[in-house]
Amino acid sequence: MSLKNVINASGGFSANASKKDIYLLEANGRVRSTTHFLGMRFYPSLSRGAEVYVPLKARKNPLTKGEVVSITTGLLSLAGVMLAIINTLK
């Protein structure tokens, strides 16, 4: 069986599973993880006694309105300073 077959047999990925961070803990203590190349994922091969771990995705906290206002204000202030410097150098 392949790693994907094992995961599908156990119910598949949950909505908040981190597919790119899957790793195996082999019976001898070796840890093998998913590798990536040109946008493709390559899953490690299974061996007897290996345990499959699929971690959860990291939670993303959306920006609050205050944070959006402060970032926007900072960027506009920076743009104003840049315009003032450009006009001074002319």
pTM (two decimals): 0.56
Closest alpha carbon to 60 in 7, 18, 14: 18
For 4-63, what is each residue's pLDDT tens digit?
A: 888 888 888 888 888 788 888 888 888 888 888 888 878 778 888 888 888 888 888 888
Cα–Cα distance measured from residue 26 to residue 52, given in angstroms and rounded to the nearest whole number = 9
Task: Collect all residues with Cβ–Cβ distance below 8 Å to 52 and sequence separation of at least 6.
Answer: 3, 6, 7, 22, 24, 46
